[in-house]
Amino acid sequence: MLESKRTPILPAPRPQKKYEVIIDSEQCDGCKICVEFCPKEILKESEETNSRMLHYIEIVNPEECLGCKQCERLCPTTSIFINETDLQEVASNES
């Protein structure tokens, strides 16, 4: 394999936002629409059940979330929410 001696002019792009997936397990009816449409496959059906004896959806790899909000848009019970955090604002507030 050839290795290049060239170096990038610009630094590699970093994500500007962080996304937090929140699931209301009591409201979720386990329809799995969100699981089917998640491009990063970060959602799965839980082994446990909620108070209505339904297997709710849980988050597997939350750090993989792209923030596409497909799950939020498609959820018929509005059980999934995506919180968006701007990393630049967080960094400037910490300074």
Query: Is the CB of residue 3 less than 8 Å from the CB of residue 21?
Result: no
Handedness of CA 4, 5, 6, 7 (dihedral sign): positive
Which string of DSSP letters, residue by residue, matches 3-52? ------SSPPP--SEEEEEEE-TTT-----HHHHH-TT--EEEEEEE-TT
Give φ, ψ of 52 to 5 degrees. -90, 10
| Dist. CA 15–CA 84, nearest whole Å | 12
Q: What pLDDT is recorded for position 5?
A: 78
Q: Which of 26, 25, 19 is nearest to 42 (CA)?
A: 19
| Dist. CA 49–CA 91, nearest whole Å | 39
Q: What pLDDT is recorded for position 2?
A: 67
Check whether domain 19-94 has CATH 3.40.50.150, yes or no: no
Domain segments of the chain as ranges: 19-94
Q: Confirm whether pTM is higher than 0.75.
A: no
Block means of pLDDT (10 residues each) for the chain, 95 residues, are: 73 77 96 95 96 96 91 96 83 65
